[in-house]
Structure 1
């Protein structure tokens, strides 16, 4: 089987902790080049992986024969760099949030279609074992009709994760576009679409900046309604000063599903007949110690390219999930609910 030549553009924490190690461990890929505007960082990462360092992504695309590109840059550059790579004839895995607007999402999807290249968005929550099991239980009818849900993703903020700490691009609107909702909320929007198997059609929200020094949101609560009438809440926060919370609870006709809400069992199902089933399915990927180390995103991306099939989280899927967050931002700004 062909070995795919990989370039990683953007050498910050997500590249160093997720993309690069997972490409290195994948038997079908070899890391050829890396790119970062901070030359010292690019060289340091390149040396670690035996790759060539660049500070300009266009030079990398012009000089190297690349099959796959991971775009791990600040959010504002996701669309332009992804489009450049697609036009250069490389398959693209773009970090979330996919882009900064509906127009950018559409341009990325169009570029992938015209180039005949694979475009995947890096939402890893779909590949968490407890989430996969919950989706199966819902799809088989075991839980019955879903009435409501609540999902949250919160931690102490990107300064504890980003390579630039408190000076991170995450806090700068011109680079990040949005804050906790783009960093965390969009993951949960994608997860809800995956679990429920239907689209969100109406969004209301309160989005605030209260915990951090910056010009992006750091606390948000959205109320979502799906096409079948399921209603629930989505919370994204950078103000959780204790343990990270990445939980989801689904309230169904026959049972309540508690996902990533218990330190020992990743999925607990409480049935209305009094029975409780506890699943030990491994821990969710986390910035906290002890979390899952392999996101499985790279494996799915590589397999999609090798098998010539649409990736599990295509550009259209990434767009649909981001659209929920864009609607939440608009709902908060205007003080009204937004219909999708």
Structure 2
């Protein structure tokens, strides 16, 4: 096929800062349409990228020229919009968390199978160089058996990042469904599954709303996770880290400790048991603090998967498993019990 013709649903911050500029940077892509319930936003982005503005995504999906769609809406709309796009015969790149329930995620996966179109979830942490290198060191056995880990993602909250500031949908349960755990925690449940190459079998969590006023979703969560092979560790997600962002992960293995995104200069530092220390400068992870790296590599991976007709690097099934860890954490916090995952 020639150029990939794309449309973006939702013209908030993630579309403005990631999807639209990254699509525009791909020479094989034409941005054909944008959609937002706030008309001025859609018009502004349409003018910027030479696209057509829509207020209703159902109308937009009638355009047969659109090959692929990015879903950049509030979380509660991810599943309905993705399913509508797949049923209209479009490939879909959906932001995370992919859905608000296992059933919704399953519906998206089924819609993709039925339509024969691709469904990719935008878990960008898999494309961070330090994470890819660490996965390699773990998979090759260089780090030895893995015993434990801790992974965290925290910053001051979406007010500084969202186009709506303090009035953002991120803080409203009906549109966001979950707070810091959906915004940040699901990145880390996906990352841990990716790094260790294992599924999470057990989850315990305390999920709180303790730092921000007038919000009805979580802003601080601490989880304990256990994998199939018995690796145990912690996952924290927070909107209450008031200075700089923390996006670090530490893996404790038999032969080495791997420190990922824990040092401002060296994105991966490996401390070997014999005292040797290896530092990798692999380029920093993208951050909302400073614009970060120019590309999340999500868009380029999606585009090339569609154009070359190969499997997407983060499938709907993968997105669903990462979501289910977060759902289990919410369940654990409510029931005060450890939750088993199949």
Per the TM superposition, whether the score is higher than 0.5 is yes
Aligned to 1:199: 199
Aligned to 2:300: 299
The verdict on how the C-alpha distance between 1:331 and 1:296 changes in structure 2, with shifts beyond 3 A counting, is same
Aligned to 1:284: 285
Aligned to 2:157: 157
**Structure 1 Cα separation of the partners of residues 308 and 31 of structure 2:** 20
* Deviation for aligned residue 1:212: 1.3
**Structure 2 Cα separation of the partners of residues 13 and 105 of structure 1:** 23
Aligned to 1:253: 254
Aligned to 2:232: 231
Aligned to 1:47: 47
* Deviation for aligned residue 1:63: 3.3
**Structure 2 Cα separation of the partners of residues 166 and 147 of structure 1:** 40
**Structure 2 Cα separation of the partners of residues 194 and 186 of structure 1:** 12
Aligned to 1:326: 327
Q: How does 1:11-26 map to 2 (within 5 A)?
A: 11-26=11-26
Structure 2, unpaired ranges of 5+: none
User: Could you say what secondary structure the match of 2:62 adopts?
Assistant: helix
**Structure 1 Cα separation of the partners of residues 121 and 34 of structure 2:** 19
* Deviation for aligned residue 1:202: 0.2
Aligned to 1:82: 82
**Structure 1 Cα separation of the partners of residues 127 and 63 of structure 2:** 34
Aligned to 2:273: 272
Aligned to 1:314: 315
**Structure 2 Cα separation of the partners of residues 64 and 242 of structure 1:** 47
- Post-superposition Cα deviations, 1:258-308, rounded to whole Å, max 9, x if no partner, equal 000001100000001000000000000100116212000001111111121
Aligned to 1:107: 107
**Runs of 4+ that moved beyond 4 A:** none
**Structure 2 Cα separation of the partners of residues 283 and 39 of structure 1:** 36
- Post-superposition Cα deviations, 1:196-243, rounded to whole Å, max 9, x if no partner, equal 001000000000001112000000000000000000000000000000
User: Could you say what secondary structure the match of 1:41 adopts?
Assistant: helix
**Structure 2 Cα separation of the partners of residues 181 and 257 of structure 1:** 24
User: Could you say what secondary structure the match of 2:323 adopts?
Assistant: helix
> Does residue 1:141 correspond to 2:145, yes or no?
no
- Across the aligned residues of Structure 1 and Structure 2, the Cα RMSD in angstroms comes to 0.7
- Post-superposition Cα deviations, 1:79-117, rounded to whole Å, max 9, x if no partner, equal 000000000000000000000001000000000000000
User: Could you say what secondary structure the match of 1:62 adopts?
Assistant: coil
**Structure 1 Cα separation of the partners of residues 189 and 302 of structure 2:** 20
**Structure 2 Cα separation of the partners of residues 310 and 326 of structure 1:** 26
User: Could you say what secondary structure the match of 1:133 adopts?
Assistant: helix
- Post-superposition Cα deviations, 1:55-91, rounded to whole Å, max 9, x if no partner, equal 1001111135200100000000000000000000000
**Structure 1 Cα separation of the partners of residues 292 and 90 of structure 2:** 31
Aligned to 2:117: 117
**Structure 1 Cα separation of the partners of residues 183 and 65 of structure 2:** 31
User: Could you say what secondary structure the match of 1:63 adopts?
Assistant: coil
